[in-house]
Structure 1
Amino acid sequence: MRALCWHGKNDVRVDTVPDPKILNPRDAIVKITATAICGSDLHIYNGFIPTMERGDILGHEFMGEIVEVGGEVKNLKKGDRVVVPFTISCGHCSYCEDTLFSLCDNSNPNAAMQEEVYGASTAALYGYSHLFGGYAGGQAQYARVPYADVGPIKIESDLSNEQVLFLSDILPTAWMGVENAHIKPGGTLAIWGCGPVAQLAIKCAFLQGAGRVIALDHIPERLELARQSGAEVIDYTKVDNVTATLKEMTGGRGPDGCMDSVGLEAHGTSVDAVMDKTKQVMRLASDRIHVLREMVMACRKGGSLSVVGVYGGIIDAFPMGAAFSKGLNITGGQTHVQRYLNPLLERIQKGELDPSFIITHRLPLEQAPEGYSMFKEKRDKCIKVVLTP
C-alpha cells in the first residue's frame, strides 16, 4: 500500500510499504477513505517529537471502511463505516473504566520508555513516535486498528466524511479543552492560537454556554474565520501588551478561562518569546512556553488554564508564583476521545455542529508532502488539509 512516512526533519515521503495485518483477535483493518494533517503532526515534521524512526507511518486523524476484523471483535463487521479515535485504549483498565481513555494502562507496548521520561505510561497514539507506542498511523491506504472493539465509532447516517472525520481528534479535543477551562454560563474564554482546534473550540464554547470568546493570533484569515464564528479577535502583533489588552476588554478582571491551543512551538513578539525560540534552536530548552506565561498573567484570579496544545519536555521560566498566588487551575493532557464520540456525533446529526467549515485544502495522499509544507508555512491561506488515499 501507499503511506506517508517520516524520513527526518521536514522530510516526509509517500512510500510503498507492506499492507497491515491482523495481529491480535481484537484488531481490525480499515481501508482509509479520509485522513487529515493535524497541527500536532507539525511538531513531528519540525523535529521536536523524539523517538521517531525512518519509515514510520504518520497520521492520527482518519476514518474508513472495515475490511477485516479479528475473532474477538463483535461490534464491527466488514463494510462498516467508522471513525477511529487517535487514542488507542483497551477499554478495561481502571483508567478506561473511569473514561480517562488517553491514560490507558495497557495499549502502549513501550510503557517502560515512557515511564522513564514522564514517570508513567499513557495510552498509545497512532503515528506519533515510539514513545507513544510506535503504531503505524493513518495517512495511508490502510491501517491496523488495535482494540477495535473499543475505539472506532460507526457512522450509520448519510453524513459526509468531512462532517465526521474530526471526531477522530480535534473536535473532541476542542470540546474537552473548553470543558477544562470551566467557563460558567455567560463567562469569558480567551483562546491563544486560531488554528483548527481553536476554531472548533469557539463553536464548542458557545454551545457550552460561554458569553464571550476572545481569540488571539496574527494570521488574518484565521482571525477572520474566528470572527465569523462569533469571537472577538486580537492580532497580538498589533498590541503593545496582550495581558493589558485582555484585562481592558474584561473590565480589569481578566478572562475567566484561558486555552492554549498552540503548544511547544509558540510564537510571540515579546522578549521572552524570542528567548524561548533561541533556547529551543540551541537545544537549551525543549518547549517554547510564551503562551503559558501570558495565560498565567492574563487569567482572572481563581480562573482556569486549559492546555490542549502539545508539550513534550521540560519548560523553562514558568511563573509558578503567579499561578499559585492567583489560585489558578491548570488542566491538560491528551483527549479522552472515546468519552465524547457519541455525544458529539449526535450534535453533528442535529445540525448544531458542522466541523467541515475549517477545511481549506483537499489533496490526494500522494500530495501529502506538499500539504505538510503548505500547512507549516501557512501558504495559500491554509488552515486544515484533508487527504484522500
Structure 2
Amino acid sequence: MKALTWHGKGDMRCESVPDPKLQDARDAIVKVTSCAICGSDLHIYDGVIPGMEHGDVVGHETMGEVVEVGSGAASKLKVGDRVVIPFTISCGECFFCRQGYFSGCERSNPNREMATKLWGNSPAGLFGYSHILGGFPGGQAEFIRVPYADVGPIKVPEGLSDEQVLFLSDIFPTGYMGAEMCNIKGGETIAIWGCGPVGQMSIRSAFLLGAERVIAIDTVPERLAMAKAAGAITVDFHAEDVYERIMKLTRGRGADGCIDAVGSEADATASADSLLDRVKTATFLGTDRPHVLRQAIHSCRNFGVVAIIGVYGGFLDKIPFGSAINRGITMKMSQTSVQHYLPKLMDHIVKGDIDPSFVITHTAPLDDGPDLYKTFRDKKDGCIKVVLKP
C-alpha cells in the first residue's frame, strides 16, 4: 500500500510499505477514505520529536471503512462500517480508561519504558507519533491497523460526509477540551493563542459553551480572517502588544481563560524572549519554545485558568510560576482523551451545532502529501488545514 513516511527533518515521502495485518483479536483493519495533516505532525516534520525512525508511517487524523475485524472486536464493529479513529489508543479496561482518562491508558504503549525515562511515566500509545509512544504506524496511508478497535473507533451516522466528521479524530475534541478546561459557565472572555486548526476549533467551542467574547491571537491573515468570521476579536501579535490589548479589553482584569493552542514551536519573532527560546533550541540548550505559555499566564486574570493543548515535549525555561501561584491561576493540560468526547461532539455535528469542515482549505490525493506538508509548514497558499484522500 501507499503511505506517507518520515525520513528525517523536512523529508516526508509517499512510498510503498507493507499492508497492515491483524495482530490481535481486538484489532481491526480500516481502509482509509480521508486523513489529515495535523499541526502536531509539523513537529515531526521539523525533526523535534524524539523517537522517530526512518520509514515510520505518520498521521493520526484518520477515518475510513472497516475491511477486517478480529473476533474480539466483532461485537462492536463489522465489515463495511464507516468509522472515525481517535488518535489515542486505549484499552478501555485499565485504571485510567475506566475513569474516562483514555489518553493515560496504562496498557496501549508497548514502549512505555522509553516514555517513562523521558516523562516519569507513560501516556497512551498514539498513531504515527514516534516509538516513544508505541511506534504504531499512522493513518496517512491507504490502510491502517487499529488496536483495541472495540474501544476506539466511533461509527459515522448516515448522511454525514467524511469532511464533517474526520476531525473528531483529534482537532475537534482537542479544541473543545481546551475550551471546556476554562470552566465556561456563560459570559466569560476567553483568549486563545494560535488560530491554526486546533485554535479554530477552540474558538467555536468556547462560543458553543457560552463564552461572551473570544480573543484570537495569531499573525497569519487567513487564520485571523477565519477567527473573525466565527465572531472572535482578533489580535495580530506582530502589530500590537498582546498583553496590553487583553488588559484593555478586560479593563485590567485579564482573560477568564487562556488557551495555549501553539505549543513548543512558538513564532521566534514574536518578542525578545521568543527569539532567545529559538537560540536555545538551535544550540541544544533548550527543548521547547514556551513564549506563548509565558504570555498566557501573565494575561490570565487572578484565579483564572490557563489551558495547555499545544504539544510540548521536554523542559521549559523561564516559566513565570511566581505569577501563577501568587495569583491563584489553575493550569490544566492533557493529551486529549478523545473517546470521552466522541459521543457528545458527534451529537453536536448531527444536530448542526457545528460543521468542522469549515477549517479545510486544501484537499488532495495522498501522493501530494509531501509537498503539502511543506505548504502547511510554511503557511503558503492560504493553507490552514489539509485533507488527503488515499
TM-score under structure 2 length normalisation: 0.99
Structure 1 residue 333, shift from structure 2 partner = 1.2
Structure 2 residue identity aligned to 1:35: C
Answer yes or no: is 1:248 the counterpart of 2:248.
Answer: yes
2:58 matched residue in structure 1: 58
Q: Deviation per CA, 1:220-259: give whole Å up to 9, x if none.
A: 11101100000000001111x3211110111111100000
Structure 2 residue identity aligned to 1:309: G
Answer yes or no: is 1:285 the counterpart of 2:318.
Answer: no
2:46 matched residue in structure 1: 46
Distance in 2 (alpha carbons) for counterparts of 1:245 and 1:203:
21
Q: Deviation per CA, 1:50-77: give whole Å up to 9, x if none.
A: 0100000000000000000011111101
2:124 matched residue in structure 1: 123
1:102 matched residue in structure 2: 103
Q: Structure 2: any 5+ residue segments left out of the alignment?
A: none
Distance in 2 (alpha carbons) for counterparts of 1:148 and 1:232:
41
Structure 1 residue 281, shift from structure 2 partner = 1.1
Secondary structure in structure 2 of the residue aligned to 1:256: strand
Q: Deviation per CA, 1:161-186: give whole Å up to 9, x if none.
A: 00000000000001111111223310
Structure 1 residue identity aligned to 2:244: A
Distance in 2 (alpha carbons) for counterparts of 1:232 and 1:333:
26
Most deviating of 241-250 and 33-42 = 241-250
1:72 matched residue in structure 2: 72
1:234-245 counterparts in 2 under 5 A?
Answer: 234-239=235-240, 241-245=241-245
1:373 matched residue in structure 2: 374
Answer yes or no: is 1:111 the counterpart of 2:104.
Answer: no
Q: Deviation per CA, 1:87-140: give whole Å up to 9, x if none.
A: 000000010000000000000000111111111111000000001000000000
1:214-229 counterparts in 2 under 5 A?
Answer: 214-229=215-230
Secondary structure in structure 2 of the residue aligned to 1:214: strand
1:90 matched residue in structure 2: 91
Structure 2 residue identity aligned to 1:69: V
Identity of counterpart residues, as a percentage?
A: 55
Distance in 1 (alpha carbons) for counterparts of 2:255 and 2:136:
39
Structure 1 residue 38, shift from structure 2 partner = 0.1
Distance in 2 (alpha carbons) for counterparts of 1:175 and 1:193:
14
Distance in 1 (alpha carbons) for counterparts of 2:143 and 2:330:
41
1:136 matched residue in structure 2: 137
Distance in 2 (alpha carbons) for counterparts of 1:75 and 1:211:
40
Q: Deviation per CA, 1:177-226: give whole Å up to 9, x if none.
A: 11112233100100001000111111111110101000000011110110
2:168 matched residue in structure 1: 167
Structure 2 residue identity aligned to 1:354: D
Distance in 2 (alpha carbons) for counterparts of 1:132 and 1:369:
23
Secondary structure in structure 1 of the residue aligned to 2:64: strand
Structure 1 residue 290, shift from structure 2 partner = 0.3
Distance in 2 (alpha carbons) for counterparts of 1:198 and 1:157:
28
TM-score under structure 1 length normalisation: 0.99
Secondary structure in structure 1 of the residue aligned to 2:258: strand
1:22 matched residue in structure 2: 22
Most deviating of 96-105 and 177-186 = 177-186
Runs of 4+ in 1 over 4 A off after TM superposition: none
Secondary structure in structure 2 of the residue aligned to 1:238: coil
Secondary structure in structure 1 of the residue aligned to 2:107: coil
Secondary structure in structure 1 of the residue aligned to 2:36: strand
2:12 matched residue in structure 1: 12
Answer yes or no: is 1:364 the counterpart of 2:365.
Answer: yes
Q: Structure 1: any 5+ residue segments left out of the alignment?
A: none
Structure 2 residue identity aligned to 1:4: L
Structure 2 residue identity aligned to 1:276: D
Count of residue pairs brought into register by the alignment: 388
1:158 matched residue in structure 2: 159
Structure 1 residue 27, shift from structure 2 partner = 0.2
Answer yes or no: is 1:181 the counterpart of 2:182.
Answer: yes
Secondary structure in structure 2 of the residue aligned to 1:8: coil
Structure 2 residue identity aligned to 1:6: W
Distance in 2 (alpha carbons) for counterparts of 1:350 and 1:358:
19
Distance in 2 (alpha carbons) for counterparts of 1:69 and 1:88:
17
Secondary structure in structure 2 of the residue aligned to 1:330: strand
2:318 matched residue in structure 1: 317
Structure 1 residue 156, shift from structure 2 partner = 2.6
Q: Deviation per CA, 1:257-277: give whole Å up to 9, x if none.
A: 000000000114211011001
Distance in 2 (alpha carbons) for counterparts of 1:310 and 1:299:
20
Q: Deviation per CA, 1:13-48: give whole Å up to 9, x if none.
A: 011010000000000000000000000000000011
Q: Deviation per CA, 1:313-354: give whole Å up to 9, x if none.
A: 000111111111111100111001001111111110110010
Distance in 1 (alpha carbons) for counterparts of 2:328 and 2:158:
46
Structure 1 residue 388, shift from structure 2 partner = 0.3
Structure 2 residue identity aligned to 1:136: P
2:82 matched residue in structure 1: 81
Distance in 1 (alpha carbons) for counterparts of 2:153 and 2:13:
27
Structure 2 residue identity aligned to 1:193: G
Distance in 1 (alpha carbons) for counterparts of 2:169 and 2:83:
10
Secondary structure in structure 2 of the residue aligned to 1:43: helix
